Amino acid sequence: MKEYFIILVVCLTPLFIGCSNKAQYSGQTLRYEDLPADVRLKFKQVYNYCPAPTFKGCDTIEYMPPFIEGHNMNGDTVIIKKSDMIFSNSFTICSNGKRMKFDLSILERVFIIKDDSIYYPISGNGITTSGEPRSSNVKVDTLLFQVSIMK
């Protein structure tokens, strides 16, 4: 009986660890109009971006918006790392020595970093269409945004 208990604990431990792997965001909710002007412009550019299709042989390659997209207004590189834990649905955004952890419950995964703050939509449906800009499915000026301080 003791062996079964030990096996059960060993098997369930990764599940409990993965479930307790919570994202660390909290902050202020803003409307599109309340965003800083340069951040608002960057979101508008990202949502309207769609290059023309390219042709490779007889194949047409259309633009598909990234699953997770990050931009730093300061020009620094943004690195997006998926969690290595097996039951985790989180990812970490790193830029300029600061990081923030998020989970995939955020459907509109576009992140704009300005100074120590990270801005991201918290409303919307997350639908994207191949060959179309994000704005064909989601009107950026109707979204609510979260602003948090990166640590």
> What would the pLDDT profile of 68-93 be if each residue is shown by its tens digit?
999 999 999 999 999 888 778 899 99
Q: pTM for the complete prediction?
A: 0.79
The whole domain housing 140 covers: 30-149
Domain assignment present for residue 20? The answer is no
31, with CB counted inside 10 A (0-12, 13-18, 19+), is exposed
Selection from 46, 27, 41 nearest residue 102 by Cα: 27
Number of domains composing the chain: 1
Residue 8 lies in a domain: no
Q: Does a structural domain hold residue 56?
A: yes
Mean pLDDT, rounded, for 18-31: 64
Is residue 24 assigned to a domain? Answer: no
Indicate whether 17 belongs to any domain. Answer: no
Is 140 part of any domain?
A: yes
State the pLDDT at residue 123: 87
Answer yes or no: is 116 within a domain: yes
Q: Does 7 reside within a domain?
A: no
